[in-house]
Structure 1
Amino acid sequence: MWKILCVVVTINIAAKVACLVAGRMENLNSEAIYASRTRYTVLVDAGSSGSRMFVYTWTTDRDGFANYSSLKLFNDSQGKPLVRKITPGLSSFRGSPLAVRAYISKLLDIAASEIPRSDHAKTPVFVLATAGMRLLPQNEQDIIWNEVRNSIRSKYEFEFKDSYAETITGDEEALFGWIAINFILDSFPSSSNKKKPTQGMLDMGGASMQISYEVSQDQPVPKETTMKFEFVVTELRETLNYKVFPVSYLYYGMQEIRNQYAREVIKTYQQKNVIPDNQSDIQIEDPCINTNLTVTQNVTLNASGNALQLTVDFVGKGDFDLCHNRIVPLLKVRNDCMPLICTINGNARPDVDLSIMQFYGLSEYYYSLDDVMPKDATNYRYDVIAPKVKALCAELWQDFVERLRRENPTLTEEELAERIRLKRLICFKAVYVLATIHEGLQFPKSYDKLYPVTHLRGIETQWTLGALVYILNTDHRKQLQESVITKISIAVVSLCMVLLVIIFIILIIHRERQCKGAGFGSCIERIRLTDKPDGNSTAEPDANNHSTSVSEP
């Protein structure tokens, strides 16, 4: 009985020692990495027309997992969200890359002065470019990125790797926008492993537009058209998988489609009119511009390998139907995509239950419809908006300007002038947005669950927020993997120590059995004789030891 008791006590002690040692190792590792519980991240959205810097902050639990409820924009010393914008876009430095350092410093100097100095080494900086940079050849992108990376490494103490400054794909941009919308809407559970319904996202910038939404795991969609997003429910340390369809349409942002439109209008003009080689200024009527407004635009035509530079005065005629008819062909929608739905530029998308799923329209889907959305409405309805767009396009430009002045009495003359400048293409923009929704993406005109927004629940709707949530979840998955490895190591260490103790006890019991029936002194002598190594000397029996038996022949 005492032997069993000894074994149990010894094994128990060994296991506790092993756990204490391994557990201390785990705690030291956790404490070393996550000693501070406040985190910061600097994210720069390098868009086609400008760059915007967002500084986010949040807290973590003792294991370093983000407390998502605390994730927000960091307030500067004036108590305002730390968001800054500069122009032009990063891609505009293709011919003067050395100017990039001063450009990027305008943003990061502010971040460095506002974020506590003691946290700089733990604060990552990401500079992520979108469609403006995607339009550049790779070698020109590389030159600009080298200047960005060298500038950050040489001047700041922030956490930074080369991969933190890059051009993201259009699909990544679409995915990040989808994550941002659903994060703000609390579509990702915080303390449950049961998934909630998610909503869709539309976005349009200067050079590209995006659509993104979740599809079911068993929905037959080409694998290369979907992306997987793994969300870690931090309270449960469990992962939920989402199958997302994100797509980006390069050259279909508002600036790029206007350039395409202008080139097509000039080509149509050339079919009826000869432009002399020495003439660079022409006038063309444009149904997508308000009457009594002329918009001058520089247009480059590539004909027979030669670039023709033209300065075109587009004279407004304000005709919604004619404008719409000219824009729709630019979308290049096929009609042979079954069972998928044909969309822009020969692409297709999987079907979705639009009777349930809501979509949120960002950027131009908000700004281009702002003048025609009823003030008390939050959702887009074609039967309400289309007649207002028709009236907007038919409105004389001077009447529109006067109405703008009346509706914004608090604006200074300078602010009003800038507002008027941004509205010069309002007819074109509104018609194009409608065309992308219904002819481009094939949303039925009865669909009434599209919500144009700039903010949701008081939070600015930017894809940068989704990028941060994606980055945090990537880190969380690594932490879960490391935690599993640590736990396995603890188990292995504990098992090894217990096995060593068991082996030691077995050896003792084995020795004791060898001595069974003999006196204590005799047992010790046997062990000594047995443990002698073989060699030239041999043991001789002790003549004085009367307990030694002698065999008889």
Structure 2
Amino acid sequence: MSWRELLPPWLVIVAGLTGIVLLCVSTKDVPTTPLRTKYGIILDAGPSHTILFIYQWTANKANNTGLIRECSSCTVQGPGVSNYSDSPQKVGKSLEPCLHWAQSEIPAEQHSQTPLYLGATASMRQLNLTHPTLSDALLAALTVALKSSPFDFQGAQILSSLDEEAFNWVAVNYVLENIIKYDWRGQLVPSRKGMAGLLSLGGTSAQLTSKMEEKNQAPKGGVRLKLYGQTHKVYTHQCPCHGTDQLRSRLLSMLIQDQRNVKTISNPCWPLTYSQEVQWHSVHAGPCAVSDDTLGIPSPEDMFNVTGSSNSTACRRLVQNLLNSSSSCSFFKQSLSSVFKPPWTRFLVISEALDFLRETVSSPDLSQAVDKLCGMSVKELAKESQTSLDTLADYCAVSTFIFHLSTKGYTFDFHSSARTEFQEKIGDISSGWTLGYLLNLTNTIPQDNPSFLKGIEPGVWSLLLILFVVLLTGSFMRISYRVMVRENSFSNRNSSVFDDN
């Protein structure tokens, strides 16, 4: 049989063997392009100012929820949006510099796919209660301005206090890796650390937010969230009129009423030598105003000179009287438990005043630390912080209030550092609802489907290469051998012919 007759069968055998090997080899998906980075923009329209936050995450998700990090932020110049109620047409104009900045921060090809959302908080909630027409006009003006941006506008609305605190709770626990974390293999797994509760003071109210156990019935007003495949029932217990701004006004109002026959008022919660001119109307207006009676109340235009006396004991007594006279919030353990009893867990107290206290006063006992803070002079306070003196002067009253609210109202154990911490910032971000909101929003954003190619492991590829080389070499040698045999046979025939001659 000639080599020409053997060649086709050999080629068929080689092709068959190669095909069988390729069918048996396992492959894996190899992305042809890297995962895209996605962006999200959240505008936090707070009482005093508006901040634009840019967040980013990869297109890949973990159980439908993105892995987000804060990228950068831009503070909008001017007051909060509620202060534009007299001229709504100007509120959109105030956002333009930060929106232009965001366009330069985010790649142009991503603009149309970047969600943009504005959430207004406490001051707009208050405006909506008192003047709903004005708040609607502001939201309409904001909507027009944000729709004209190149981003994917998701809406501008007044965030409910319950949603704000629930998203704030999500942000804090996300940063602390209480929801999800990377294990030692670099894989994302649910965290076993347990969720932290949150006590925070806004400008108008104080609120305690905690996760409710699945076996417990969530009280009315709870928020249900699903993150990374896990469902969380979050409840907030609110104390209206007990935020830092309202606390200051209510304390000054009580002092003026107690000392109504004089124009110079002593404030035990302010440091010595600190003073302010206070108009009665500025501290005694709105639904949070406190009055012992209606007789002898100053007129709205009356001015008082309030000076600090730096008396910790008197300040505590004043704060206790304020809490005891409160009708808008329950501060007794038995009545609080009947409404909301948070699980025994770790709590974080978010407060600039207590964060300042922790950094400046070295005392393991919170009660003693508050006393030391209330005894600091104006010079000592200014030396320890770059914060404005007007803000620092109120830290004594705020710290005293938080101490009483926490120990008498919520019965926290401040002697156990493993159970209670106080701070202003969590990780590298300021605690806020914006991160929690965007985490929840990523559940509704479709995940990109990257293009894949089938890939073979390097070791398997090497074996296949060797197999191909062996088969080709064997085939070549076989063919060469058949050729040599044929040539030898031809030579032998020729030599026999010559011998015969």
TM-score relative to the length of structure 2: 0.70
Q: Tell me by how many angstroms 1:338 deviates.
A: 4.2
Q: Tell me by how many angstroms 1:247 deviates.
A: 3.3
- 1:199 alignment partner in structure 2: 196
CA contact (8 A) 1:284 1:314 kept: yes
Q: For 2:117, what is the secondary structure of its paired residue? A: strand
Amino acid at match of 2:355: D
Amino acid at match of 1:453: Q
- 1:140 alignment partner in structure 2: 134
Aligned-residue identity in percent = 22
- 1:456 alignment partner in structure 2: 426
- 2:70 alignment partner in structure 1: 73
Amino acid at match of 2:406: I
CA contact (8 A) 1:41 1:125 kept: yes
Residue 56 to residue 423, structure 1, CA distance change in 2 (3 Å): same
Pairing 1:95–2:125 present: no
CA contact (8 A) 1:45 1:128 kept: yes
Partners of 1:257 and 1:470 in 2: CA distance: 33
- 2:396 alignment partner in structure 1: 427
Give the one of 344, 355, 365 matched to 1:370.
Answer: 355
Pairing 1:160–2:153 present: yes
Give the one of 299, 312, 326 matched to 2:304.
Answer: 312
Partners of 1:436 and 1:299 in 2: CA distance: 27
- 1:493 alignment partner in structure 2: none
Give the one of 208, 225, 232 matched to 1:229.
Answer: 225
- 1:473 alignment partner in structure 2: 443
Partners of 1:320 and 1:228 in 2: CA distance: 42
Q: For 1:152, what is the secondary structure of its paired residue? A: helix
CA contact (8 A) 1:195 1:240 kept: no
Unaligned runs of 5+ in 2: 1-32, 182-187, 286-293, 448-501
CA contact (8 A) 1:189 1:196 kept: no
Partners of 1:174 and 1:472 in 2: CA distance: 19
Post-superposition Cα deviations, 1:305-347, rounded to whole Å, max 9, x if no partner, equal 99723333211111122212222343325477747527xxxxx
Post-superposition Cα deviations, 1:31-88, rounded to whole Å, max 9, x if no partner, equal xxx99832111111111111111100111129994551xx2122xxxxxx33435442
- 2:258 alignment partner in structure 1: 268
Partners of 1:241 and 1:196 in 2: CA distance: 16
Pairing 1:112–2:106 present: no
Partners of 1:90 and 1:35 in 2: CA distance: 40
- 2:366 alignment partner in structure 1: 385
Partners of 2:406 and 2:231 in 1: CA distance: 28
Post-superposition Cα deviations, 1:172-230, rounded to whole Å, max 9, x if no partner, equal 111011101111122223645787521111222222332211121122443x1322111
Give the one of 213, 220, 239 matched to 1:249.
Answer: 239
CA contact (8 A) 1:289 1:315 kept: yes
CA contact (8 A) 1:340 1:351 kept: no
- 1:17 alignment partner in structure 2: none
Q: Tell me by how many angstroms 1:465 deviates.
A: 0.9
- 2:313 alignment partner in structure 1: 321
Amino acid at match of 2:435: L
Partners of 2:309 and 2:298 in 1: CA distance: 31
Q: For 2:302, what is the secondary structure of its paired residue? A: strand
Residue 64 to residue 192, structure 1, CA distance change in 2 (3 Å): closer
Q: Tell me by how many angstroms 1:149 deviates.
A: 0.7
Amino acid at match of 2:408: E
Q: Tell me by how many angstroms 1:376 deviates.
A: 10
- 2:348 alignment partner in structure 1: 360
- 1:284 alignment partner in structure 2: 265
Pairing 1:181–2:186 present: no
CA contact (8 A) 1:453 1:461 kept: no
Amino acid at match of 1:427: C
Residue 219 to residue 307, structure 1, CA distance change in 2 (3 Å): farther
Q: Tell me by how many angstroms 1:145 deviates.
A: 0.8
Post-superposition Cα deviations, 1:327-378, rounded to whole Å, max 9, x if no partner, equal 2343325477747527xxxxx421421xxx212222xx2x20234315698x
CA contact (8 A) 2:361 2:372 kept: no
Residue 62 to residue 42, structure 1, CA distance change in 2 (3 Å): closer
Amino acid at match of 2:343: V
Amino acid at match of 1:46: A
Partners of 1:62 and 1:361 in 2: CA distance: 31
- 1:436 alignment partner in structure 2: 405
Q: For 1:258, what is the secondary structure of its paired residue? A: helix
Partners of 1:182 and 1:214 in 2: CA distance: 11
- 1:341 alignment partner in structure 2: 337
CA contact (8 A) 2:197 2:211 kept: yes
Q: How many residues align?
A: 392
Post-superposition Cα deviations, 1:399-424, rounded to whole Å, max 9, x if no partner, equal x25xx43x57xxxxxxx5x6434323
Amino acid at match of 1:189: I
Partners of 2:298 and 2:308 in 1: CA distance: 29
Partners of 2:75 and 2:341 in 1: CA distance: 37
Q: For 1:252, what is the secondary structure of its paired residue? A: coil
Partners of 2:240 and 2:47 in 1: CA distance: 12
Partners of 1:471 and 1:453 in 2: CA distance: 27
CA contact (8 A) 1:37 1:64 kept: no
- 2:145 alignment partner in structure 1: 151
Q: Tell me by how many angstroms 1:393 deviates.
A: 1.9
- 2:470 alignment partner in structure 1: none
Partners of 2:439 and 2:390 in 1: CA distance: 36
CA-based RMSD: 3.3
CA contact (8 A) 1:368 1:433 kept: no
Post-superposition Cα deviations, 1:389-444, rounded to whole Å, max 9, x if no partner, equal 2123233434x25xx43x57xxxxxxx5x643432322222222222322343324
Residue 89 to residue 151, structure 1, CA distance change in 2 (3 Å): same
CA contact (8 A) 1:259 1:299 kept: no
Q: Which has the higher contact order (CA 8 A, sep 6+)?
A: 2
Stretch deviating more after TM superposition (442-451 or 249-258): 442-451
Partners of 1:51 and 1:200 in 2: CA distance: 26
Partners of 1:180 and 1:440 in 2: CA distance: 25
Q: For 1:314, what is the secondary structure of its paired residue? A: strand
Post-superposition Cα deviations, 1:209-261, rounded to whole Å, max 9, x if no partner, equal 32211121122443x13221112x3xxxxx32112112343332211221222
- 2:36 alignment partner in structure 1: 37
Matches within 5 A, 1:538-549: none
CA contact (8 A) 1:58 1:66 kept: no
Residue 126 to residue 457, structure 1, CA distance change in 2 (3 Å): same
Residue 340 to residue 441, structure 1, CA distance change in 2 (3 Å): closer
Q: Tell me by how many angstroms 1:131 deviates.
A: 0.9
Residue 116 to residue 218, structure 1, CA distance change in 2 (3 Å): same
Partners of 2:237 and 2:331 in 1: CA distance: 19
CA contact (8 A) 2:271 2:374 kept: yes
Pairing 1:50–2:49 present: yes
Q: For 1:177, what is the secondary structure of its paired residue? A: helix
